[in-house]
Structure 1
Amino acid sequence: MLARRLRALREEEWPEVTITQSDLAQVLSAEKPASVPLLSSWESRTTPKTPPPHRLAAYATFFATRRSVENRPFRLIPPDELTPDEAGRRDELLRELMDLRAAAGQRESGASPAQDHADRGSWYFHDRHDITIVVAQLPADMRAKMPYSDPSRPDYVELYTYADLDALIELHGHIRAVNPRSQVNFRIASELAPDDYTTHLVLLGGVDWNLVTRELLDRVDLPVTQVARHHESEAGGFVVRTPSGEERLYAPKLARHGDHEVLLEDVAHFYRGTNPFNHKRTVTICNGQYGRGTLGVVRALTDGRFRDRNAEYLERRFPDHDSYSVLTRVVVVNGQVVTPDWNLPGSRLSEWPEGRS
Structure 2
Amino acid sequence: MSPVQQPRPALARRLRALRETLWPDAGITQGQLAQAFGGNKPLSISLISSWENADKPVAPPTKRLEAYATLFATRRSLDGGTLRVLPVHELTDGERTRRKELLEELLGLREGRHLGAPGSARDIWTFDEDQNITIVCARLPEKYRQHLSYADSESADFVSLYTYADPDALIELFGHIRSRNPDNNVKFCTSEELTADDYTSHLVLLGGVDWNSVTRDVIERVDLPVEQVGRADDAEHGGFRVQQDGRPKLFEPKLDRRGHLLEDVAHFYRGESPFNRKRTVTVCNGMYGRGTLGAVRALTDARFRDRNTAHVHERFGDVESFSIISRVPVVGGQGLTPDWTLEENRLHEWPEAAE
Q: In structure 2, how many angstroms separate the alpha carbons of the residues matched to 1:253 and 1:191?
A: 33
User: What CA distance in whole angstroms lies between the structure 2 residues aligned with 1:144 and 1:276?
Assistant: 35
Separation (CA, whole Å) in 1 of partners of 2:105 and 2:354? 38
Counterpart Cα distance in 2 of 1:183 and 1:115: 16
TM-score by length of structure 2 reads 0.70
The one of 275, 288, 291 aligned to 1:290:
288
Kindly tell me: are residues 114 and 32 of structure 1, through their superposed partners in 2, closer, same or farther at Cα, counting changes over 3 Å?
closer
Q: Tell me how far 1:193 sits from its aligned partner.
A: 0.3
1:323 is aligned to 321
Q: Which has the larger radius of gyration?
A: 1
What whole-Å deviation, never above 9, does each CA across 1:26-51 have from its counterpart, x for those lacking one? xxxxx999xxx979x76xxxxxx763
Deviations 1:178-229 (A, max 9, x none): 0111100001001110000000000000000000000000001111000111
Alpha-carbon distance in structure 1 between the residues aligned to 2:209 and 2:109: 46
User: Which of 329, 332, 335 is residue 334 of structure 1 equivalent to?
Assistant: 332
Deviation at 1:239, TM superposition (A): 0.4
> Could you list the per-position Cα deviations for residues 216-271 of structure 1 after superposition, in whole angstroms to 9, with x for gaps in the alignment?
00001111000111233321101002463x210110000023xxx10000011100
CA–CA separation in structure 1 for the residues paired with 2:223 and 2:203: 17
Deviation at 1:105, TM superposition (A): 4.0
Change (3 A) 1:290 1:5: same
Q: Match of 1:350, as an amino acid?
A: H
- The answer to whether the 8 Å contact 1:268/1:329 transfers is yes
**Which residue matches 1:182?**
184
Given the alignment, which residue of 160, 163, 182 partners 1:158?
160
Query: Where do 5+ consecutive residues of structure 2 fail to align?
Result: 9-28, 32-42, 58-102
Aligned 1:179-328 pairs, distance under 5 A = 179-242=181-244, 244=246, 246-257=247-258, 261-328=259-326
- Distance (whole Å) between structure 1 residues aligned to residue 109 and residue 134 of structure 2: 32
Alignment CA distance shift 1:107-1:217 (3 Å): closer
Q: Distance in 2 between matches of 1:205 and 1:2?
A: 43
After superposition, residues 66-215 of structure 1 pair within 5 angstroms as: 105-106=106-107, 113-114=114-115, 121-215=123-217
Match of 1:51 in 2: 50
Distance (whole Å) between structure 2 residues aligned to residue 263 and residue 121 of structure 1: 31
The one-letter code of the counterpart of 1:147 is S
Offset of 1:354 from its aligned partner?
0.9
Cα deviation digits, residues 103-122 of structure 1 (max 9, x gap): 99416988975479858512
* CA root-mean-square deviation: 3.4
Partner residue, 1:24: none
8 Å CA contact 1:228, 1:236 repeated in 2 = yes
CA shift in 2, pair 1:50/1:120, >3 Å: farther
Instruction: Report the equivalent of 1:355.
Output: 353
Who is 1:99 aligned against? none
TM-score (norm 1): 0.70
Counterpart residue identity of residue 279, structure 1: R
Q: Deviations over 1:31-84 (max 9, x none)?
A: 999xxx979x76xxxxxx76354x55999xxxxxxxxxxxxxxxxxxxxxxxxx
SS in 2 for 1:332: strand
Amino acid at match of 2:223: D
Q: Distance in 2 between matches of 1:211 and 1:189?
A: 7
